[in-house]
Amino acid sequence: MSDGIVNAPTSVFFGVVAASGLALCARRARDELDERTVPLAGLVAAFIFAVQMVNFPILPGVSGHLLGGALAAILVGPYTGALCIAIVLIVQSLLFADGGVSALGTNITNMALIGVTAGYVTAVSVAAALRRTHN
């Protein structure tokens, strides 16, 4: 989502939601990070950054692209995965003007917090169902 898609009160609201969610993720990511996952988190963020740079237009000011939240959550855990996606979105917004600064909170909420959570819950549910069918 680019600048101007959401009004100022909505932008501020989602900025607070995103900051609160990322603060929780930063605290919880300490339990997920170890010697193996720290470099993997960097690789995940770099890969998702590269594939998210390929955009296709949906509406004026809105583009679609691979989100990568489920992949990040599966590889490095949901909290670290959300931080990886948020970092990608911040870099894209500030350095490449891909997604607006005023829409950053909305984009982080949609893609990093909700996207990662939905992807992780789905992956865990599918894995549990597959385990039940094989036992």
Structure tokens of 40? 């993997």
Q: How far apart are the first and last CA of the chain?
A: 44
Q: Which two tokens stand for residue 110?
A: 């949609």
Over residues 102-114, mean pLDDT: 93
pLDDT of residue 66: 80
Q: Tell me: the pLDDT tens digits for 6-45? A: 899 999 999 999 999 999 999 999 998 888 889 999 999 9
Q: Answer whether 1's CB lies under 8 Å from 61's CB.
A: yes
Q: What is the pTM of this model?
A: 0.88
Q: Residue 30, SS3?
A: helix
- Residues recorded for the chain: 135
Predicted confidence (pLDDT) at residue 77 exceeds the cutoff of 90 = yes
Residue 67's Cα: distance from chain center in Å?
A: 7
Local structure of residue 108 (DSSP, 8 states): I
pLDDT, residue 40, reads: 93
pLDDT at position 59, please?
79
What residue type is assigned to position 38 of the chain?
V
